[in-house]
Amino acid sequence: MSYLNQIDPKRVPQHVAIIMDGNGRWAKSKGQPRSAGHQAGVKSLHETLRGAKEAGVKYLTVYTFSTENWNRPRQEVETLMNLMVWAIEQETPGMIENGVSLQVIGDMDRLPENTRQRLQKCIGDTAAGQVITLILAISYSSRWEIARAARELAAEVRDGKISPEAITEELLSSRLTTVRYPDPDLLIRTGGEVRVSNYLLWQIAYAELYFCDTYWPEFGPEDLYKAIVEYQSRERRFGKTSEQVSDETK
């Protein structure tokens, strides 16, 4: 039986964030170059997006390329940038057809011109999508975005536009790249590592964390459904007591 049938449609996580890890190790285990793992990872994303839509998830944010990934060998960085262009071209018509809206978070200024242009074109072409928002975190890291927000707010204080007292959690959140999305409810990391690698640190304050050993190229809808079922078995207390939470849901 599919895990999909075990999902309570009333408590589907609105926003799922994924750290798509393990492409290189998957390829190595098959005696293939790392690039083959990245290529296979595109299909996993396609399938997982389909699964997320099927389950009723509204936002899917995927860690595609971190700020730290710029330190990988030049050849691998180039492969990844080219793969993104290829994948976007390949996927745009299907995204439009399926009501997927593409968004990007991260330092787009660091991307090669053609990668940035392709991304921007796809964002425009899919802007009307209402079913699910796919957010690619590219050249993204939390420390980058938090430092950037702090700089912006500091400049506004300096210019007398706001007072230091006006800086609240909400104001800081509004200067992050994720301003238009709710915080993730569920964070999944594939590939066996148990860390968050500078991903959405502010936003996952109360997300449920789910780690699995499956390498990203082998991950698909069933694995996502399984994670959602596990998510639904957890009690999200947000600092309250279990009794308070069960009173609230009565």
| Nearer residue to ligand IPE within complex by CB, 43 or 236 | 43
Tell me, yes or no, if 71 is annotated catalytic: no
Residue 19 binding: pick among Mg ion, ligand IPE, none (C-beta 5-8 Å cut-off by kind): ligand IPE
Kindly state the helix (H) or strand (E) to which residue 28 belongs, with its residue range.
helix 23-29
Give the CA dihedral 183, 83, 198, 62, nearest 10 degrees: 20
Strands 208-211 and 132-140, bridge-based pairing = unpaired
| Nearer residue to ligand IPE within complex by CB, 23 or 101 | 23
* DSSP symbols for 163-217: -GGG--HHHHHHTSTTTTSPPPSEEEE-SS----TTSSTTTTTTPEEEE--S-GG
Tell me, yes or no, if 114 is annotated catalytic: no
Least separation in angstroms between CB 77 and Mg ion: 14
| Residue 248 structure tokens | 């609230």
Contact between 208 and Mg ion by CB under 5 A: the answer reads no
Beta carbons within 8 Å of 218's beta carbon, 6+ residues apart: 26, 44
| Nearer residue to ligand IPE within complex by CB, 66 or 115 | 66
List phi, psi (to 5°) of 6: -90, -5
Which spans of this chain sit near ligand IPE (rule: CB under 6 A)?
A: 19-25, 63-66, 69, 80, 191, 193, 195, 197
Residue 190 binding: pick among ligand IPE, Mg ion, none (C-beta 5-8 Å cut-off by kind): none
| Nearer residue to ligand IPE within complex by CB, 66 or 101 | 66
Residue 138 binding: pick among Mg ion, ligand IPE, none (C-beta 5-8 Å cut-off by kind): none
Least separation in angstroms between CB 111 and ligand IPE: 14
Task: Tell me which of 8, 21, 98, 114 is the catalytic residue.
Answer: 21
Distance CA 145, CA 141 (A): 6
Exactly one of 3, 21, 135, 221 binds Mg ion (CB under 5 A); which one?
A: 21
Residue 78 binding: pick among Mg ion, ligand IPE, none (C-beta 5-8 Å cut-off by kind): none
How many positions of this chain bind Mg ion (CB under 5 A)?
A: 1
Q: ∠111-187-106 over CA atoms, to 5°? A: 15
Residue 223 binding: pick among ligand IPE, Mg ion, none (C-beta 5-8 Å cut-off by kind): none
| Residue 190 structure tokens | 């594939």
Contact between 60 and 132 (Cβ < 8 Å): yes
**Where does this chain touch Mg ion (CB under 5 A) — which range of 19-27, 33-41, 64-72, 230-238?**
19-27
The contact set with Mg ion (CB under 5 A) reads 21
Active site residues: 21, 69
